[in-house]
Structure 1
């Protein structure tokens, strides 16, 4: 029988055979190695190896003097103890990061400046680096989001970060919001806790991860083939300041709610118009039809006695609605 992986205990470092045997023993709490190997189709030798590993982890009790029967330990106590051991190991590994970085740098003939800025080339390498940074973010992630993209994003990574309490702030270039699929994804992030704003244009793509790294393209071309990974330095501080500048200028991306009072609805509409969104993009963002958006725009123009959208925006700014 080929190896299978359930994925339920991947974080505990169990092998596929160990996961298979452990799950089986939870419902059939004991058995000999021969019986278990035959029942699961892995053979006696593989079963013994897996059982020994589970016993080393404290999840099983080894056979005693009564016979060659393996039995499962109570999972509430056994798993808790194993989790604690894994957490200690992870903290020790994290404590060795600086040592590992020293070894990494000593093996490269780069200058001190080169240690602060690293060039990563290749679409797959860039995508994997971004995935690693998202998995490693601890407190906050700041993003300037604009095309081009390496590949389709993995929403689960951001949702997982939000779920563990990471603060995520993103400023989107307005043309990103013209794609219905991307707009739906951003709405999902916002509902999960992302703070989203929008501007007509952004100067570059940028991600600042905690205060430890920044990621940005080498060039602003149509193909994203190479990126710069910036470590703590005055350059990282400058890029963080750049994000904060554009964040302060950006319009808040309102949540869709067509049932709100007209004055609130008009405030949302003005913000999206000022951000440069088209009627179609605004309709998708607010969850209404394009015709409804056009009607609301006419209402605003009538409200301010304006002949054009631009005039309506000027009047709204004077009235402190933007």
Structure 2
């Protein structure tokens, strides 16, 4: 039997979760009745009841019956215990990292920097660090332009209140698609500036980590992970220096939606694919799809064909 997953984050197994949810719907029940209802052996149900009782979720009643403890009391207490366990585990992170480094190089020293090699390892590290950032993310972003992350990850950071400041190399102003994406970030709360000269790519996450490439190649094959140290402080100072010197990001040029639609419609009418239209207009396929959706919304059309008919009636074709 598989659990619903509703309480999986509290460490309950599938049987324990199903049993607790079953007991929430009755005043009390004996193990034999529960076993019959759940198509399980009575011994399995008894073991799950004992485990739930140890976690404060159920309690024994008279005549061998069991009852659920109200969730506003039981689940809250369980959540508090889990939080204590997580804080204790986080406190042992230094010890775990020493063991990790000792296994790598035979030393247990806490060095300020570690080299991470391989594009996949670098990408996984970046995702992990982003998920762990709590207060602020600071970035110097210069060519080669490798995406910092999925745009949704960036937007999720901003949504949970992470202060994000980015200094972009001025070369980004010549890339309309990248510039449009950056403006979507600034609309969501990112603070962005541009600078004509950036010495390196750099990411600072809270005051705990920094990432920078080992070399200025065309791909991020290896990075340095910097931990709290004078080096990390120096990199933070470098970011603040370039932030103070940088200019505000210019606004996107205004484009009349009707002009955009007039460029798009003949290509749609010609039966070109989104990819072909994107190449013709010098934009991304995702942008073409967004424009098509915008056009359909404008005319209240459910299909592209209907949008084309409405556009012809409006003399846009």
Same fold (TM over 0.5): yes
CA distance 1:96–1:254, shift in 2 (3 Å): same
Q: For 2:166, what is the secondary structure of its paired residue?
A: strand
State the distance in 1 between where 2:242 and 2:17 align.
49
SS at the partner of 1:115? coil
1:145 aligns with 2:133: no
Residues 3 and 13, structure 2, Cα contact 8 Å, conserved in 1: no
CA spacing shift, 1:74–1:250, aligned 2, 3 Å: same
8 Å Cα contact 1:123-1:150 kept in structure 2: no
- Cα distance change on mapping 1:163 and 1:36 into 2, 3 Å: farther
Count residues with an aligned counterpart: 258
Does the C-alpha gap of structure 1 residues 159 and 80 become closer, same or farther in structure 2, counting only changes over 3 Å? farther
Distance in 2, matches of 1:195 and 1:98, equals 33
1:164 and 1:51 map into 2 onto residues whose CA distance is 38
Bigger drift between 146-155 and 240-249 goes to: 146-155
User: TM (normalized to structure 1)?
Assistant: 0.63
- Match in the other structure for 1:67: 64
Q: Which residue of 2 aligns with 1:119?
A: 115
Matches of 1:27 and 1:155 in 2, distance apart?
Answer: 43
TM-score (norm 2): 0.64
Residue equivalent to 2:11: 13
Q: Aligned partners of 1:22 and 1:255: how far apart in 2? A: 56
Pairwise CA distance, 1:185: 5.1
Q: Which residue of 2 aligns with 1:219?
A: 215
Of 224-233 and 189-198, deviating more is 189-198
Distance 1:87 1:110 in 2: 32
Tell me how large the CA RMSD over aligned residues is: 3.9
Q: Which runs of 5+ in 2 are unaligned?
A: 255-281, 288-317
1:189-221 deviation per Cα after TM superposition (whole angstroms, max 9, x unaligned):
434432222335643321111222111112222
Match of residue 229 from structure 2: 233
Q: Which residue number in structure 2 is paired with residue 83 of structure 1?
A: 79
* Counterpart Cα distance in 2 of 1:84 and 1:179: 48
Q: Which residue of 1 aligns with 2:190?
A: 194
Query: Does residue 278 of structure 2 align to residue 252 of structure 1?
Result: no
Residue 120 of structure 1 and its aligned partner are, at CA, apart by: 0.9
Supply the distance in 2 between the matched residues of 1:24 and 1:253 (Cα, whole angstroms): 57
For the pair 1:171 / 2:167, whether they are aligned, the reply is yes
Give SS of 1:14's match.
coil
Partner of 2:238: 242
Work out whether residues 137 and 166 of structure 1, in 8 Å CA contact, stay in contact via their aligned partners in 2: yes
Equivalent-residue separation in structure 1 for 2:139 and 2:201 (angstroms): 8
Gaps of 5+ in 1: 259-279, 285-322
1:127, 1:151 within 8 Å by CA — same for their partners in 2?
no
